[in-house]
Structure 1
């Protein structure tokens, strides 16, 4: 049986994990959305081809996605301290989470926008729609369902990243698993944190997929 202190700690850890996950997701999308749109719009056959810019942006995103999160977590500690005032805790962990997830989310957004039927875009162009109108009134709305699916995947990925941040005192369930389950050999706490993380991922995935299904115009 778990005592009240442990239960309280696990509840607070769950809240911290959700806090890190959702805040990081919001900030990551703020950076990733324009990047994802730019990748689609400036490609060779895009709405506004810009070959050199697209290649530079593409390589930059690939480099960002190639860095393992744990290495990035340690590498950006000086930046984390500069922004958050410290390098540990749930709020500080948001900094590396945003940096790590932005390139990944940008690719998800790019993939979703590329699924939009070219016929719809061509129809908008034939009516003289401006670039911004096509992007925000055609591309994004038409890709809405796929974007929501991508968002669901992103949240699950960021949640798993937040658990890894426990290695450097990042707070949340990951921190509890490391500090108590690993260093203090309390296997039951390690097991409970793993189960809680699985449950959180399943709940978030289920909610996201249901929303995506309801917004999918192809579903009758």
Structure 2
């Protein structure tokens, strides 16, 4: 009888561990920043030499220029390879509590949130990150300071440092998760997570997905 119980317990633990591994979600930082995939380098703009080059030189190479909209692109989609990512995750699977796709919120536990609060992303260009599901890169974006006066044209997680000042002991911290649309904050968009089925499925299968099915 004891042998049967031991086999059953071992099998249950194996299944549990396997399920956790299959639904592993981790956030990685990059070893070195990658260039924007959109826009052109500022020093290639017509009449560049006649502009305020002292200021513009500080924008090179990470800020690009949209020649159609005639505007700067501070952070856009970027290309990367697995070897561009740090070996260890920045945010571990067990530090990610949930994803609310209707309200655009990523919820981290205290440990994960503190890592974000210690991060000091560039006010202008943010800090690039990549999300892996089961060690496969499926999503990219930027960490941004919530008081930044610059805008992003790609996926963003906003860091509101005032939340830590209000209360450093909370179990859960919620971070705005959205797609930027330039410097105008009112034009931010919801991320269409259906375009990232692996990420959506991992949150769903691990009971960490919050959604209003009526929307």
What is the TM-score with the length of structure 2 in the denominator?
Answer: 0.28
Higher relative contact order (CA 8 A, sep 6+): 1
Name the structure where helix makes up a greater proportion of residues.
1
